[in-house]
Amino acid sequence: MRVLVTEDDGNLRLAVDTALRGAGFAVDTAADLPAADEALAVNTYDCTVFDRLLPGGDALEYVAGRRRAGWHVPVLFLTGRSAPDDRVQGLAWGDDYLGKPFAVPELVVRVRSLCRRGEPRAAPVLRHADLALDPGRYEVHRAGRRLTLTAKEFVVLHRLIAAQGRAVPRAELIAAAWDELVPPSTNVLDVLIAQLRRKLGRPPILQTVRGTGYLLS
């Protein structure tokens, strides 16, 4: 699950970033609205976290504008403005509202809940041959046998099975399971793919497409 955190307080931004990464999220950060807008233009997120008042304007107005344009990614607002009217306005355009100061573990729980809320509800079980991946239950079965995967292995397999036989580029898989700070040339994905192949067992279905990435055959 990938999250964008937009917060102008550097210490708080780092604390939230560290806590979310420790909980298994891929995290991008921004210090102001222009940087957030740029990140949203090039990446897909399962949830976004916005400080309410940022350099460049009120994040609530920014989110409201995107909502009117059809944007549906879940939003958690962080703010020191906790009056009832402020909360009502925040929940009118966002999905959750957390007043400062807050406990970072609580934020992690709320972000995870919003990410799950944003997952598609229709036909949640993805299938490929004798492989079944259930995002809602966070389970993978092959030929009726349940597989035990790490969080990153699950994310990579999810992208591969959702591609329906299309080769998924290395950079896309790395961005989904880690973040853009990990270069496509790194071997972390190769190590994960080797582990995933072992867990998937035989007959082999996870194939390398030279010069591109990987696919489920």
Q: Cα–Cα distance between 58 and 17 in angstroms, integer? A: 21
Q: Quick check: 108 and 19 in contact, CB under 8 A?
A: yes
**Which residues span the domain enclosing 151?**
126-216
Q: Residue 109 is part of a domain; what is its CATH number? A: 3.40.50.2300
Q: Residue 133 is part of a domain; what is its CATH number? A: 1.10.10.10
One pLDDT digit (tens) per residue for the chain, 217 residues: 899 999 998 999 999 999 999 988 999 999 999 999 889 888 889 999 998 888 878 888 888 888 888 788 899 988 876 655 655 665 666 788 888 888 888 989 999 988 887 555 444 688 888 889 887 777 899 988 999 888 888 888 988 988 888 888 888 888 888 765 556 566 888 899 999 999 999 998 988 888 888 888 8
Residues 184, 78, single domain; the answer is: no
Residues 7, 113, single domain; the answer is: yes
Instruction: Return phi, psi of residue 121, to 5°.
Output: -95, -25
Longest dimension (CA), the chain: 60
User: Structurally, how many domains does the chain consist of?
Assistant: 2
- Residue-by-residue DSSP string for 60-82: HHHHHHHHHTT----EEEEES--
CA distances from 212 to 28, 167, 169, 172, 190 (A): 25, 7, 5, 10, 13
Q: Quick check: 95 and 75 in contact, CB under 8 A?
A: yes
